[in-house]
């Protein structure tokens, strides 16, 4: 039986195999810090036995070897974790992690007179939190399309046309989510 095109499927599932969560804390990095820098800091402080799992957006799940290890190490980590993170919380069953994806948005048709970092940040904010602008976009090196990376809760593929308005004039701009696999293939050739 075919489902109507506007319906959402519901699939019944069960919790299984996630005991490691009870040996974990969920942290949310501050906006100016990167996941890679955080991992390096953790390693540099000698916490090589902690597994870092990227959850989406700026959230990470830090898993310890055991609940005891977590209870023992966490008090010594609190000071620097507070400097790096907006929040640090031990896992609880009631927690729901952010469903966030990091995606590059390609912006086609942005007029040169409007080509600036503020314009691209304004576009990116429409879909989520702006993380970074592409180097060529920010440094005015190429104008075929501008790129902005966002953390978005939007789960569907982003593919829209919008209008930029400046002094009463509307400029249509196409915004497309960069498809990761396509980007990787293009970069290889």
Res 44 pLDDT > 80: yes
Mean pLDDT to the nearest integer, 153-163? 92
Mean pLDDT to the nearest integer, 161-175? 96
Provide the whole-model pTM.
0.65
pLDDT of residue 107: 97
pLDDT of residue 142: 92
Q: What angle do CA 133, 150, 177 make, to 5 degrees?
A: 95
**pLDDT per position as a tens digit, 81-137:** 999 999 999 999 888 877 888 899 999 999 999 999 999 999 999 999 898 999 999
Of 26-35, 62-71, 176-185, which range is least confident?
Answer: 176-185
């Amino acid at each position: 039986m075919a489902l109507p095109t506007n319906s959402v499927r519901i699939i019944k599932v069960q919790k299984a195999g996630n005991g490691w969560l009870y040996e974990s804390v969920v942290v949310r990095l501050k906006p100016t810090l990167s996941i890679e820098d955080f991992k390096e800091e953790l390693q540099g402080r000698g916490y090589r036995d902690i597994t870092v799992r990227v959850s989406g957006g700026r959230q990470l799940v830090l898993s310890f070897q055991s609940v005891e290890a977590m209870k023992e190490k966490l008090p010594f980590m609190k000071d620097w974790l507070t400097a790096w993170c907006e929040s640090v919380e031990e896992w609880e069953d009631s927690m729901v992690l952010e469903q966030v994806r990091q995606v590059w948005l390609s912006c086609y048709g942005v007029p040169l007179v409007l080509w600036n970092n503020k314009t691209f940040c304004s576009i990116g904010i429409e879909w989520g939190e702006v993380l970074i602008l592409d180097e060529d976009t920010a440094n005015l090196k190429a104008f075929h399309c501008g790129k902005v990376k966002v953390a978005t809760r939007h789960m569907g593929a982003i593919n829209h046309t919008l209008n930029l308005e400046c002094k009463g004039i509307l400029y249509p701009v196409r915004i497309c989510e960069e498809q990761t696999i396509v980007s990787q293939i293009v970069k290889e050739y």
